[in-house]
Amino acid sequence: MSLTGKTKAGSYKDILQMNNSNSGVDATIRVVVDGEGTESAISLGDDALYIQPKNDDTTTTLRVMDTDANPILVVDSSNDLVKAGIGQHIVNTQYAYFGVNANDNSNFATNTHYPIPFGVGGYASGSPGGFPDFGTGTDPATTFTTAEANSDRASDLVPVMWRVSDDITIDEIKHIEGADTATGDTTRMHLMSYTFTSGATSCLTSGAVVANTSADNTNAGSEQVYLKDWTIGTSDIDAGKVLLCFFRSDSINSDYSVSVTIKYHLR
């Protein structure tokens, strides 16, 4: 819209100005206002530009698009997120991995929750040490105490622990599993969070279920590979918490290789 031919009285509301006593832009950050003094979301100085909603947070406080109107960069101030690219992915998205091979899994007992190694490492040692168990309940045990005994040593526990360094939000969990014989089992997996106390034998306390497989997987054996979705119950994990990922099967017809991918972002 052009201001050509319009009087000041008929156009002043559409004119943006610095509200700086006719001194324009200077080193002070000032809110840009319209001709009648209504504040905009923009604040401006000679070295800085701020954008802050004045009334309501919206998912489009800032949007950069290409010529086809595809969003390339979006500041979602309702959810305190920045998204980028055609897929509008959260820009600080990261991935974490847990996994176990069928050889180590062969040491697991029936109906027992075993934490699987974090990252690309493995267990501390083979059977009888190196395989901490967290009980036979519906969910893994909520505490763990280290001791000088097989599977209870600190060295057995460390390889399965993910200590979260920053506040995170978990966006998605999936896992792939495969059996090593023609007869499979019903399998179940959990992600648990714990309070970690350094230097104490009662090192893991206040355990809580973060997520689990959406349904138990009836694994038909070695001729199939399964991709399974998880249900996330608690997505926000605070810095300093320790996460453990567990595998359980209702029988031991097969041993399993399992790979778990956790998609998350910093918050």
Residues 47 and 97 in one domain: no
Tokens of 32: 């840009």
Which one-letter amino acid corresponds to residue 125? S
Residues 152 and 246 in one domain: yes
Q: Are the C-beta atoms of residues 131 and 174 closer than 8 Å to each other?
A: no
66-95 as b/e, with b when 16 or more CB fall inside 10 Å? eeeeeeeebbbbeeebebeeeeeebeeeee
- pLDDT tens track, the chain, 267 positions: 687 888 888 888 888 998 888 889 999 999 999 989 999 999 999 999 999 998 888 878 888 999 999 999 998 888 888 999 888 888 899 999 999 999 999 889 999 999 999 997 788 765 445 789 999 999 999 999 999 998 899 999 999 999 999 999 999 999 999 999 999 999 999 999 999 999 999 999 999 999 999 899 999 999 999 999 999 999 999 999 999 999 999 999 999 999 999 999 999
Residues 37 and 158 in one domain: no
pLDDT in tens, 164-175: 999 999 999 999
Residues 127 and 250 in one domain: yes
Residues 81 and 133 in one domain: no
Residues 22 and 152 in one domain: no
Residues 139 and 117 in one domain: yes
Residues 134 and 106 in one domain: yes
Residues 109 and 225 in one domain: yes
Domain-ending residue, one of 67, 91, 115: 91
Please tell me the total count of domains within the chain: 3
Residues 103 and 176 in one domain: yes
CATH number, domain of 166, equals: 2.60.120
Q: Model's pTM, two decimal places?
A: 0.85
Enclosing domain of residue 21: 1-55
Residues 28 and 124 in one domain: no
What pLDDT does residue 126 have?
54
